[in-house]
Amino acid sequence: MLVSSLRSFSIALLAIIVVGLVAAPRTALPYKITPLKRVHEALTLMASDCLSSQEARPSICVSSRSAVRDYKVVQDETLALKVPVLGAISRKELAEAVRWPDDPTREVAVKTIAKFGVKMKFQCKSLTGGLRDGLLCSSHYGPLQYWHAMASSCEESTVETQGKVLAWAEFLYEVAAGADLNQPHCEYWQAQPKEGKGKLAAVLAPDDGFPCNKDGAPWVIGTPFSLKCPNPFSSLNCDVLSERAARLSALGALLHMVQDSYAQGHTTRGSCEIYVKDGRPLSKIECRPISQFYTYDKQAEWKHSEADAPPQIESSCLSGSTEVDDPILASAIVLWIVQQQKGTTALTDYLKERVFLLAKHHKPQAGTGDCFAEQLMQIDKCRVKNVSEERLSAPNISFNRTGR
């Protein structure tokens, strides 16, 4: 009777939390995912359409200035995507896969959405222990922010973040393209060269930390991509899904990271833009080199969320001589590289030269972004902390008066 009462109380409490989350749109969860704005899904399906319409390597996917198409429009179109190991990939599989970095333990579901919300709104902000805090918290507030093309802290250098992104991309390609997923997780990461994927080992496989010293069955390299935690009250014991699910998640994670690098709340590509009326950042895509990676935990959450809305494609993406590709073309080329089995070198060379290219005069360290402080014109919190390394200057903000 007592157990039943406690469970009823817990369910009622979680219901209250869900209602509170829904009623507070201006403090929305970071990284808009289903059932909110399905930007990643739309970008990914547009990229697959572009790939299927061109026999050779895709060369153009966006021909006019426009917003990213609505997910409901593109989800009903046919998909002809086949890659080695995975075979034919359905639209539903591809759309679900690209969500994985935002929901790595698959908790955005009816029974577990309240648990997901509690983590993101309350628990993750106070955790700093790396993977022991879970994949969700570590990738949004902790040392795995490179999953989202972001820096893990104010102190992280721009070059270091770029290196982590490229190393993670190499690993994701291997998982998606056919690596043995039963390799021991910790042994794999600890054996990597320090100048390559080994730079990720300190977080993913620390000698004296989780998951290398965990009780129970040890992780294999496919484990992080396979977890599903259906218990509405705990994420300690999770199901392990199929090898296909793991490979699809890795492919989705690769596309997700590429796309996130164009989001205004993740990196600087040109100047950010603010609506005069309410201080909201404009969601737009600029096809310029990266001047700075941001770190999420110092940003105003609601502003970051606003910048993850369906974006406008700016004129910098429409010139035939752009320095970087737009995110739809970049996603299509990534799919093509995997489909054609071009290898990790082809992938990382492409990403370094045409996606994660650094501006010649990039900022030396991470920041929060001039448009993402709590108060308009407030100095970047990271820059205040690193004032000895960079002379403070006026924020790089444009003001939008049209309300478009």
Give the tens place of pLDDT for each residue, 43-62: 999 999 888 877 789 998 98
Residue 17: per-residue pLDDT: 42
Residue 321: per-residue pLDDT: 80
| Rounded-to-integer distance, Cα 373 and Cα 383, Å | 12
Residue 143: per-residue pLDDT: 93
Read off the pLDDT band of 222 (50, 70, 90): very high
Please provide residue 26's backbone torsions phi and psi, each rounded to the nearest 5 degrees: -80, -5
Counting residues of the chain whose pLDDT is more than 70, the rounded percentage is: 83
Q: What is the pLDDT of residues 232-276, one digit of tens each?
A: 998 888 999 999 999 999 999 999 999 999 999 999 999 888 887
Read off the pLDDT band of 401 (50, 70, 90): very low
Q: What is the pLDDT of residues 86-141, one digit of tens each?
A: 999 988 899 899 999 999 999 999 999 999 998 888 888 777 667 888 999 999 99
Question: Rounded to two decimals, what is the model's pTM?
Answer: 0.88
Of 15-24, 80-89, 147-156, the poorest mean pLDDT is in 15-24
Retrieve residue 312's tokens: 């406008």
Residue 387: per-residue pLDDT: 45
Sequence-separated (6 or more) residues with CB below 8 Å from residue 217: none
Residue 397: per-residue pLDDT: 77
Read off the pLDDT band of 3 (50, 70, 90): very low
Q: What is the pLDDT of residues 332-388, one digit of tens each?
A: 999 999 999 999 999 999 999 999 999 999 999 999 998 998 776 666 778 665 544
Average pLDDT over residues 166-178: 97
CB distance 293 to 158 below 8 Å? yes
**Mean residue pLDDT across the chain:** 84
Considering only residues 358 and 18, tell me which one the structure prediction assigns the higher pLDDT.
358
Average pLDDT over residues 138-155: 94
Question: Among 142, 149, 76, which residue's Cα sits nearest to residue 297?
Answer: 142
| Rounded-to-integer distance, Cα 348 and Cα 215, Å | 35
Residue 70: per-residue pLDDT: 74
Residue corresponding to tokens 């054609």: 340
Helices (H), 270-380: 301-307, 327-339, 344-354
Give the amino acid at 195: E
